[in-house]
Chain A
């Protein structure tokens, strides 16, 4: 495991920021770390990067205990509130960080990361004159400078436009393909969904779910059916085949299937059973709906599945 924590806890006075966090992150994957604002994500990342000291518990990073300086030689970190020396040029900043890391081939590495984050030709301008998006890019460049084995990205696209976000997604995927482990904290769930292999949800300082992304999303398709004249006999038959079959508050029906291949059979059953079928829509579960189910309010639990259909006869 590249990251391993055992009952990692951080308290600020009586307030518990992180409560017995247990993480096991394998090497070479993109690991999503999700939760609401104030859930304890950034505190946890800061404990992992050695900026915050745990109140109790333990952990290892790259095989070294938390806070070990030598582990940071192979680690990159883009903080959530990225701020850099505004009086420096982009090039000065990268040179400064290269010196902190004691990078040997710093000129080549600086050229590489500048190209990677799309700041080639901008490096001679002062960081203070950069837009917020450019500052985030130069921050990302700094974090990539040591060619890290483990990269912590805390909200890496918060200041970027859609093209910038796609660029970062591509960088993350490319890093994973090169064997880098990326620990990603982001509120942009579509982004996490697109790149993460495993996801951990944290709520009120506690880990509430940890699972591979495919287990969270791929094995579940919700089918929304707009149909009338479903007889008791047909209902019983479908309920027997699909225990999740139920009528929703807007008059539609829903059931959960495991594969799209089941859809023709269901429609055939409905028609042969005498139902008037108006619409049959499959919804693959999104990370947003999973997120809302896990850490959101109960009233949002069905968000993403139920859509009021205009013109459907009542």
Chain B
């Protein structure tokens, strides 16, 4: 059974109880990781053409000739998508917890309300942050190029986490700096990693295995300042989307 895992040397010498804990942590982490990736891609699909497609088809003309301001239109679109993405994310989040509870996975049964709530908030923050950037992209370019660029930026975030981890492993500040810089461009992986630390704590061994399987980076925990930056990142891109759209000709 050990051979099913990416790096069997990690599980070598474990007792049955230790291995069970390890397996539970792996399943929990993978559940969240894949669902988060699914939500990210769904959010990009939802948001990449939200404004540009309406501009291309002319649908927007009938709406913007009504007594609504440009910022109201952008915010209306944004919050509408936030509601859809958050509803979807919440369903997935709850399903993962329910499945974990049904199968008696200790990672879930040991969670308290505060952990679940915090994890849920961070889980929702991921699609919201992606939407801020995607809506800005939708004001600036057509749906397909925007979608491709957003997927690229999202994957870049994963790469950033890995680069940072490699830097820590090699103890090279320049590589760590590069990883952090990439995380500043694409902070989505940072949000996910923080969520994972909240909802699947004490999973250092499983975390290392996941990193080895190229699923994510697992560097140091993000600082409060990183979350301040993420907040500014989100508000900034939303503001830029409004600013750009307010000056755009609907022709």
Contact = CB atoms under 8 A, between A and B. Distances in A.
Contact of B61 (A51, A100, A101, A102): A51
Interface residues of A, number: 26
Contacts of A69: 67-69
A83 B58 contact: yes
Interface of A: 43, 46, 49-53, 69-70, 72-73, 75, 77, 79, 81-85, 97, 100-102, 139, 142, 152
B58 A50 contact: no
Nearest to B76: A100
B246 to A, nearest CB: 10
Contact of A100 (B58, B63, B251): B63
Contacts of A152: 65
B59 interface: yes
Contacts of A75: 65
Interface residues of B, number: 16
Interface of B: 57-59, 61-69, 247, 249-251
A51 B66 contact: no
Given A51-B250, A52-B249, A83-B57, A101 B62 contact: no
B66 A81 contact: no
A182 to B, nearest CB: 15
A53 B62 contact: no
Nearest to B61: A79
A49 B247 contact: no
A139 B62 contact: yes
Contacts of A77: 61-62, 65
Given A69-B67, A73-B67, A82 B62 contact: yes
Nearest to A75: B65
Given A50-B65, A77-B62, A79-B62, 16 more contacts: A43-B251, A46-B249, A51-B61, A51-B65, A75-B65, A77-B65, A79-B61, A79-B65, A82-B62, A83-B57, A83-B61, A84-B59, A84-B62, A85-B59, A100-B66, A152-B65
B62 A52 contact: no
B67 A70 contact: yes
Contacts of B68: 69, 100
Nearest to A49: B65
Which residue among B59, B67, B69, B251 has the maximum number of chain A CB atoms within 10 Å of its CB?
Answer: B67
Contacts of A72: 65-67
Contacts of A101: 66-67
Given A43-B251, A53-B247, A81 B58 contact: yes
Contact of B59 (A46, A52, A83): A83
Contacts of A53: 247, 249
B251 A46 contact: yes
A81 B58 CA distance: 6
A51 B251 contact: yes
B136 to A, nearest CB: 20
